[in-house]
Amino acid sequence: MPPVVPPFLIGLIVAPLAKRLLKPLVRGVVKTSVGVVMEVKKAAHEAGENIHDLAAEVAADMVAAQVASGDGHRPAESEASSGEKSAPLSGDKVELGRVESEARAPKIRATAGVGPGKAH
């Protein structure tokens, strides 16, 4: 009958060999995985920026179309009595002869998603 070698002796001999062979293999797999994740994250970020840019362009086009068609906020003729123009109030802004109240005219921002921490 052949001599019986205890399994822990086999483990003591094989462990250093496995460490020398498997460590570079595992390191390569981890390095490749991290690289793939970084590329996917970069591609997703660029796609998000492109979507935000497209949304900003569409919003700007819609605002320009509204301004061109004259759908902007204009005071009714009945607001000014007998053709007199009222003086702007302290919270109002005057732009090209028009008086618009900041409370009634919402501000439209065409730079959606561009904050101080984002670079292009």
The pLDDT tens digits of the residues spanning 40-97 come to: 999 999 999 999 999 999 999 999 999 988 865 555 554 444 445 555 555 555 555 4
Q: How far is CA 17 from CA 13, 14, 30, 31, in A?
A: 7, 5, 20, 22
**Do β-strands 92-95 and 98-101 pair in parallel, antiparallel, or remain unpaired?**
antiparallel
17 vs 94, residue with greater confidence: 17
**3-state secondary structure at position 10:** helix
CB-based contact 57:114 (threshold 8 Å): no
Task: Say whether pTM exceeds 0.85.
Answer: no
Cα-trace Rg, the chain: 35
Report the percent of the chain where pLDDT is more than 90: 38
Mean pLDDT value across the chain: 75
Burial label for 86, CB within 10 Å (0-12, 13-18, 19+), is exposed
